[in-house]
Every structure is written in C-alpha cells, then in structure tokens.
Amino acid sequence: MNNNRGKQKYDKLIVYYFSGTGNAKNAAKWIAQFATNNGISSIVVSIDNKPLIEIQDESKKTLIGFCFPTHGFNVSPKMLKFIAGFPRKLNSDVFILNTRAGMKLSKLFIPGLSGIAQFLPALILLTKSYRIVGMQPLDLPSNWISLHPGLRPKVVKSIYERCEKITYRFAEKLLNGKHVYKAFYSLPFDILISPISVLYYFIGRFVLAKTFIANNDCTSCDLCANNCPTNSIEMYNGKPFWKFTCESCMRCMNNCPKRAIQTAHLYSFFIWYIFGGLVTGIAFNYFFNKNFSTHFLPTGVFKILIYDIFQIISVFVGIYFAYKLLNFLLRYKIFNKFINYTSLTYYSFWRRYKPPKNF
C-alpha cells in the first residue's frame, strides 16, 4: 500500500472520527496508516470527549477527514454537531467517509444506504468555506443488532477485506490530489429516502433510545455507562438506564461481557401501538368527534396534521413513563424473564457484532 505516484499534495492528515462499534474508527485508521506509510504525518482523533481541534499550521498543506457511521439515513447526530461546530477555514481540503450497513448474500456484497449522511455534512462544510475533495461511502458490516443478528464472523471478515482495499484506493487518490465523489452514485436513492432521514433525526432516534434494558445477568460493572460515547447511560440502583440522548450506536449492547443488554422488542412494540395507535385515536376522536372511539379517519390536510401532532406527543409522553415503569418492573424476577423471552436479542442465535481483531 505504498503510494509512489506523483508528488504528494499534503504534508499532514487529520482524521476526526465517531464510531459506535469500531467500523468508522478502523476506516479512519486505514487512511491514516496509508498516509503515514507515504511519509505524511497523520493523526486520528476520536470526537468522543470533545477533542481539541488543531488550528492548522499555515505552512503545511493539511487534509482533514471526517469518518462516522450512518444512522437513520443520516450522519450520526454526535458527528453532525461536531461538524456544525467545526471552525471555519478558507479553502482547506476535507473528505467525508460514512460507514454503512454492508451485508453479503452468497458472493454478492450488498451496500447500505446513505440518505443525507454525505450531503448534509458536505453542505455544512461548504458553508464554512472548505473544499470537499472526497465523499466516500464504505459498506462495512451492519452493526444494527436491534434489527438483525450480528453477521457471521466469516462474512464480517470478507466484508472487511473488501472495504480495506476500497479505503486504501480512496486514500491513494486523495493523497495524489485527485477528487473522489463516490457518494453521488446512489444520489437518486438517497434523495428518495431523505424524508425518512428527517423523521429519524427528529423522532425515530429518541423512540429507539428507550428500547434498551439490562436483564438480571447485569453485574453492575458500569462498562456500558463508562464507555458510552454520548454519556447517555446512567446507573440507577446498579442498573443502566438509557436517556433520550442515546444514539443507539450499539456499543453498549455489543460490548456487554454478560450479554445482559437487550432490546425489549415486544414491550416496545406494545407501547408504540398503545400510544401511537389507541391513545392517539381516542384523543383525536374525543376532540373532533366528541366520542371515545379508537376508529379514526383523519381527512383533509389540517386534520391529518393535528392527528400527527397528537400521535407524536402521545408516543413521547407514553414512552417516557412506560420506560420508567419498565425499569421499575425489571426488579421482579418474573417480569425480567418475560422481557427476556420477548426480546429477540436474548436468544443465543442473535449474535453480537464485533469487528475482526486483526484489521
């Protein structure tokens, strides 16, 4: 992976990364490693604990990178805040690399979807006068184990091998002064799903934050709370409690040494149905039709809008209290068992996600 072609365009590389389970961190490290091997001084900086942003040395030609996972067809909220607060700098070169949910079916590598994960940070950086020289999505293994079991280690390894090569090619082109805009390949799909990105950012992520619990196997080791990149886990009576600020990055669930952290699937669906369906229907009908029926048929833009507002308020208030109740009831052995058996993540076939060690 030596880069001998042409004259180096940069003297220095700084890569800022946010990573839930290690994919974006590995991508950042690969790029830095490639640069170092080619005589460019490089640093990789985690944004977990408000890093000191280096004021770039004017005498050096610096390339700045941002690596992060895609969350809900968008840039992960923590990285979005970091980029929004990044200092302005005239004509400095930057690149954006978002890791996505890569899968593999037989021999076929299946890509994830970026949504606005590339274009939103690019827009922010453009308004800060940066020059965007690279926009690269990278389909590393999906870590979203609330939705599906972690991929098999063999599949993870094969996806990693492919992505490592892609990342080196990307780094080589950038360091040779070329521009890479691979993110544009999926632009039609990304535009199509962009409304979901917005819904996820303003609603979805908060709802998902309240699906996590620790069962009776939890030993109160505090590892989850101490390693949470958004400080969203508080310990109450020796058990973790997830705050609304949780980004569902999956670090806690994948790293729990006792596999005690679960997604309370059935309980969460039940609460969403009660508050998003029944309670909303009753409240809506009470105010508009003066009855307590749950059957509703909002017609007209105004009524649909009111209905949606009812639904959002009802779901948020509902999950706030239902989550407190859930954590209280978990003290009882029988309820703990019920939650375990109705959480898919509890079953042994539901693998946790771990990036391979030797990458």
Find the shortest distance in angstroms from Cβ 354 to ligand FMN. Answer: 10
φ/ψ of 142, rounded to 5, equals -65, 135
Q: Does 21 help bind ligand FMN (rule: CB under 6 A)?
A: yes
Give the residue, chosen from 13, 14, 15, 19, that forms a contact with ligand FMN under the rule CB under 6 A.
19
Q: Does 73 help bind ligand FMN (rule: CB under 6 A)?
A: yes
Find the shortest distance in angstroms from Cβ 45 to ligand FMN. Answer: 15
DSSP 8-state assignment for residue 202: I
Q: Does 140 help bind ligand FMN (rule: CB under 6 A)?
A: yes
CA 83/CA 241 separation, integer angstroms: 28
Cα 125 versus chain centre, distance: 20
Choose between 65 and 69: whose C-beta lies nearer to ligand FMN. 69
Handedness of CA 83, 86, 91, 92 (dihedral sign): negative
Instruction: Considering only the stretches 136-144, 153-161, 184-192, 276-284, report the one whose residues sit in contact with ligand FMN under the rule CB under 6 A.
Output: 136-144
Find the shortest distance in angstroms from Cβ 291 to ligand FMN. Answer: 39
Instruction: Considering only the stretches 45-53, 63-71, 177-185, 229-237, report the one whose residues sit in contact with ligand FMN under the rule CB under 6 A.
Output: 63-71
Interface with ligand FMN in residues 225-244 (CB under 6 A): none
CA of 356: how far to CAs of 209, 346, 350, in Å? 27, 23, 18
CA 157/CA 286 separation, integer angstroms: 56
CA 205/CA 222 separation, integer angstroms: 23
Find the shortest distance in angstroms from Cβ 50 to ligand FMN. Answer: 19
Helix orientation angle between 280-289 and 301-329, rounded to the nearest 10 degrees: 140
Find the shortest distance in angstroms from Cβ 61 to ligand FMN. Answer: 28
Q: Does 215 help bind ligand FMN (rule: CB under 6 A)?
A: no
Choose between 57 and 161: whose C-beta lies nearer to ligand FMN. 161
Q: Does 104 help bind ligand FMN (rule: CB under 6 A)?
A: no
Hunting for tokens 């700098």 — which residue is that? 89
Instruction: Considering only the stretches 17-25, 32-40, 44-52, 268-276, report the one whose residues sit in contact with ligand FMN under the rule CB under 6 A.
Output: 17-25
Q: Does 134 help bind ligand FMN (rule: CB under 6 A)?
A: no
Cross-strand partners of 75? 70
Q: Strands 108-110 and 103-105: what pairing?
A: antiparallel
Choose between 70 and 232: whose C-beta lies nearer to ligand FMN. 70
In this structure, what token pair is assigned to residue 179? 């521009």
CA 177/CA 206 separation, integer angstroms: 41
Q: Does 72 help bind ligand FMN (rule: CB under 6 A)?
A: yes
Q: Which amino acid is residue 178, in one-letter code?
A: K
Residue nearest to ligand FMN (CB): 112
CA dihedral 119, 125, 129, 133 (to 10 degrees): -60
Cα 49 versus chain centre, distance: 17
Q: Does 249 help bind ligand FMN (rule: CB under 6 A)?
A: yes
Q: Does 24 help bind ligand FMN (rule: CB under 6 A)?
A: yes
Binding positions for ligand FMN, rule: CB under 6 A:
19-24, 69-73, 99-101, 112-113, 115, 140, 142-144, 248-250
